[in-house]
Structure 1
Amino acid sequence: MKSQKSAQTLSFLRHGAPVALRNVPPDRTLLEVLRDDLHLTATKEGCGEGDCGACTVVLGEAVNGKLTYKAINSCIRLAHSVAGMAVYTAEDIVSDKGELHPAQEAMVQCHGSQCGFCTPGFVMSLFGMYQNSQGGQGISRENAQADLSGNLCRCTGYRPIFEAAEKMAELPLPEGCAVDEGATFKALKSLRPQGDPTYLRPTTLAALLQARAQHPKAQVVAGCTDVGLWVTKQHKRFAQVLDVTATRELQRVETYPHHIAIGAAVSLTDAFAALVKERPQLLTFSRRFAGLPVRNSGTLGGNVANGSPIGDSMPLLIALGASVVLMRWQKNKNGGAMAHRELRLEDLYTGYRTHVMRSDELLAWIKVPRPTGHAMEKIYKISKRFDDDISAVCLAIQMTVKGGVVQQVSIGAGGVAATPVRARKTEASLLGQAWTADTVMAAQAALRAEFQPISDMRASAAYRHTVLGNLLQRFWLESQGTTAINLESLSTLEVLS
């Protein structure tokens, strides 16, 4: 399929000035626009799939009366999705006199660049950190490691780059490098994206559902972190795109007495922040879900709707008892109204990347029960790299034990079947049993027998089969007070020493 040229003017800010581009196809990436259309070649293409971070840029967006900054991967982000935002590249943060921004100067002084290919991406991640920390204040090696997890370097060993992150606050900010937030905020409000049928980005839920009903063949996108790969790696073309991220109602996380509701347009970063707020033990896992640029673009709703068997959020949500709200536009004598239905998350999937959603339905909300304080909750992610990698096996467990007996248990698993799954047979083997080593041994056998994983580039079937049961054993050991049995219990400094 050949890309359609869009009559819509793509408008965003760059270096404080409006940029207006016409005839940008709906499936053109932001990186292509920057490098090929605007000739901003400092931004590099490394992997083309959001893994290496060489293409990192920072988006500035007006949210609740102030500017927010997010580092994202431009290689898999569709260009039209940044309409109405400010885009910062490594070429935009130098002063007109050639003075370097502290993010750049710190890399120079700390010798954080060798071959240099990854450097612009690191600089932009550092710039995002600088802006979000009021001039680099309070940045430690630990949070630098977390925020730079989406940037890979084959040369430096990372130590000088972490040192550069810590040094930024010590360096002066040249006058020409400072972001004039007042002027930027005013300029963003003046941008008026035009409507066009090739890239639909409705701002209200009613308009979004009507657009879905009218254009059932349009490719639905949220953060583009998966669809972007279909463009860059599979060379798919989309004549029409429906983007959910501008829908105001779906940009919220709402708190109710018994659950929180996460809108389909909420980024993974913000969704995990909401989950971690109520379940602090999920912090390490939330940082291991891809790198920060992917979490800044991708949405929890998109991850769930995509239904990848190795998507990490679904096993967790299944174990926590989450449900999804599907919505559509239903015509009636008054013109139409919004209709919805709710189902358990594990019941959403019918097979590999297939689901029960109708062609006119969209996943609108994810409802996650709030913690009761009685249940043990744990999620385990096994991957070749500790950071910025896809799981070979993911196992999430929620269990309540009273009087030494398992009163409640739910288990979600990923990487072991065609879909994210709930381990119902294993749950049945545990429910009502004494929480003992013998019970766990029997449950391990049940868990291994319940699924038949495949071999692929990430792990063999035998490895997955073995690890699946071992993770249940780890959960048992940790429930008995055993510590220091996995890398998550060690700090970076302890590992290096």
Structure 2
Amino acid sequence: PAGLGLRTVNSCIQLLPTLDGKALFTVEDVARLNDGRPHPCQQAMVDCHGSQCGFCTPGFVMSLWHLYERHEQAPGREAAADALSGNLCRCTGYRPILDAAEQMFQGERAALDLSATVKALDQLAGDTALVYESTEAANPARRVRFVAPRTLSELAAWRLALPEARLLAGATDIGLWVTKQFRALGDIIYLGRVEELKQLTLSTDTTGAAQGLSIGAGASLEDAWEALTAHVPALREIWLRFASPPVRHAGTLGGNIANGSPIGDCAPVLLALGADIVLRRGDDERTLPLSDFYLDYMKNAMQPGEFVQALQVPFPAAGSVFRAYKISKRRDSDISAVCAGLWLELHGDTIAAARLGFGGLAATARRAALAESALIGQPWTEATLRAAQAALAQDFAPLSDMRATATYRLKVASNLLERFWLETRPAQPLAAAQVQVWPALA
């Protein structure tokens, strides 16, 4: 709708003050906004017998409503499955819901008039920071603050004034601290109202060709991945398999990188692409390679008072090859056992430079230095691959956990390197259709 962006989010982890300045739509609004009649997405769920046992059905309806408003015509079953990937319940079968996703486009188009909502939001809009003060539930004697600055300079000032405050963006991780661990968060600085943090800026060379992308730390994961994939098509599968639309709509690239999970999917990819991270403290900025940002498990190079301002991501240049891979038990909405971003610069058949980023193999996402050394200066042949695989086994000593054993992780990482070679070798590289793991949904 004009003047308003619709995004699905997970309601259970939306902290109330983060909704300031936004319009909240629930399943009750879907029919209300359709003159009180069932919306086509609701009617299709009834007609196709797609209703679940109860609690899950409203979530499916909201995802279908979002899909409906994004497309004039049915986008196909694969796109529908992607849109529904954040709705995990399958208790009454999934096919009828996919049928509903197609059928809802077949009748008369439902109009959506949100002009009154836009007008109300315009009247509420302001350019001053929201400062909300309350008491901690577990400790009523303690006062805590929720601050939502509107500009970068305000954010920098609040960060210095409240150096111990929790920085909050999409709450896709911190929200679970509250709902699952019942943790008190203390003072919070919310980044979601700082528009400067959401900017996506393309850099070009003298001919106008795109060279890279500067991604504000507050840009949503969906916007960041979409912008990157437009210039790096090899990222498409990992973009669509990263969490789910509601998580990608709320979560931010800066938050994912700052969080520093060793099994996160963003860091290995950005390490392979040679990304830099821009940190800010007060009026001062500094830029360092992302490979220097992670120091140890959940520890990074940020100094007191600093925050992530942006990620600068160069695009693979002509003569280079790049792939990104995610290995998990489920296709959608699952945490990686191993994630890899692999990049080589080739001069003819010879490897001039290499960056191999892996997640799930160490206390942080990091590059495979020994394997990179085994590649550089060598021809991109099977013999070089085998040497790099042997070196890769010395790069990491992963742990075994509920998702995978250490042996499995190392074997998968080695196999991904081999798949990379099969797809990019100078002689007879395999086409994408020959290595597609997940078949298209019929």
TM-score (norm 1): 0.81
Counterpart in the other structure of 2:74: 138
Matching of residue 195 in structure 1 with residue 131 in structure 2:
yes
Task: Note the alpha carbon deviations across 1:170-228, whole angstroms, 9 max, x for none.
Answer: 23467xxx542221111111125753351111110000010000011111111111111
Give the gaps of 5 or more residues in structure 2.
Answer: 134-144, 205-210
Structure 1, residues 138-190: CA drift from partner, whole Å, max 9, x if none?
A: 3211211111111112223321111111111223467xxx5422211111111
- Looking at structure 2, the residues matched to 419 and 397 of structure 1 have their Cα atoms a distance apart, in angstroms, of 17
Give the CA deviation at 1:390: 0.7
- In the TM superposition, residue 259 of structure 1 has moved relative to its aligned partner by 2.4
Which of 230, 255, 271 is the equivalent residue of 1:302? 255
What are the within-5 Å matches in structure 2 for residues 315-334 of structure 1?
315-329=268-282
Partner residue in 2 for 1:153: 89
d(CA) in 2 for partners of 1:195, 1:173: 42
Q: Secondary structure at the match of 2:7?
A: strand
Paired residue for 2:161, among 211, 214, 217?
Answer: 214
Secondary structure, in 3 states, of the residue corresponding to 2:131?
Answer: coil
- Following superposition, the deviation at residue 466 of structure 1 comes to 1.0
- Summarize the alignment of residues 345-356 of structure 1 with structure 2, pairs less than 5 Å apart: 345-356=290-301
For residue 264 of structure 1, what is the aligned residue in structure 2? 217
Q: Give, in whole Å, the separation in 1 of the partners of 2:263 and 2:440.
A: 27
Contact persistence 2:370–2:394 (CA under 8 A) = no
Q: Distance in 2 between matches of 1:327 and 1:169?
A: 47
Q: Please say if 1:277 is aligned against 2:230.
A: yes
The question of 1:67 aligning with 2:4 is answered: yes
The alpha carbon displacement at 1:443 in A equals: 0.6
2:367 corresponds to 1:422 = yes
Find the partner of 1:86 among 20, 23, 30. 23
The number of aligned residues is 417
Report the residue type matching 1:116 in the other structure. G
- Residue 431 of structure 1 corresponds to 376
SS in 1 for 2:400: coil
Matching of residues 77-116 of structure 1 within 5 Å: 77-95=14-32, 99-116=37-54
What are the residue-to-residue correspondences of 1:466-477 with 2, within 5 Å? 466-477=411-422
**Aligned amino acid, residue 402 of structure 1:** H
Alignment of 1:288 onto 2:226: no
Mapping of residues 46-65 of structure 1, within 5 Å = none
What corresponds to 2:140 in structure 1? none
Note the C-alpha offset of 1:373. Answer: 2.5
CA distance in 1, matches of 2:403, 2:383: 31
Residue 124 (structure 1) aligned with residue 62 (structure 2): yes
What is the alpha-carbon distance in structure 2 between the residues aligned to residue 76 and residue 313 of structure 1? 21
Once the two structures are TM-superposed, the CA of residue 387 in structure 1 deviates from its matched residue by 1.2
AA at the equivalent of 1:253: L
Amino acid at match of 1:208: L
Which stretch has the larger CA shift, 163-172 or 406-415?
A: 163-172
Match among 408, 430, 436 for residue 482 of structure 1: 430
Task: Tell me how far apart the structure 2 counterparts of residues 211 and 232 of structure 1 sit (CA, whole Å).
Answer: 27
In structure 1, how many angstroms separate the alpha carbons of the residues matched to 2:158 and 2:60? Answer: 38
3-state DSSP class of the match of 1:377? strand
Kindly indicate whether the alpha-carbon contact (under 8 Å) linking 2:397 and 2:406 is maintained by their aligned counterparts in 1. Answer: yes
5+ long unaligned stretches in structure 1: 1-59, 330-337
Distance of 2:297 and 2:434 partners within structure 1: 34
d(CA) in 2 for partners of 1:490, 1:98: 40
- Aligned partner of 1:347: which letter? D
CA positional deviation for 1:357: 0.6
Conserved? CA contact 1:396–1:412, under 8 Å: yes
Q: How far apart, in 1, do the equivalents of 2:430 and 2:271 lie?
A: 26
Q: Which residue of 2 aligns with 1:233?
A: 180
1:101–1:173: 8 Å Cα contact kept in structure 2?
no
CA distance in 1, matches of 2:277, 2:36: 51
Give the Cα–Cα distance (whole angstroms) in 1 for the partners of residues 212 and 109 of structure 2.
44
Does residue 1:385 correspond to 2:330, yes or no? yes
Q: How far has the Cα of 1:324 moved from its partner?
A: 0.3
Mean Cα deviation higher: 186-195 or 312-321:
186-195
Cα separation, 2, equivalents of 1:98 and 1:185: 20
Q: How much has 1:486 moved relative to structure 2?
A: 4.1
1:488 is displaced (CA, Å) by 4.2
Q: How does 1:161-180 map to 2 (within 5 A)?
A: 161-172=97-108, 178-180=111-113
- Other structure's SS at 1:217 match: coil
AA partner of residue 152 (structure 1): L
Equivalent residue number for residue 22 of structure 1: none
Identity fraction in percent: 46
Cα displacement (A) at 1:349: 1.1
Q: Secondary structure in 2 aligned to 1:224?
A: coil
What's the TM-score once normalised by structure 2's chain length?
Answer: 0.91
SS in 2 for 1:93: helix
**Counterpart secondary structure, 1:195:** strand
Q: 2:138 — aligned with what?
A: none
Per the alignment, residue 309 of structure 2 pairs with: 364
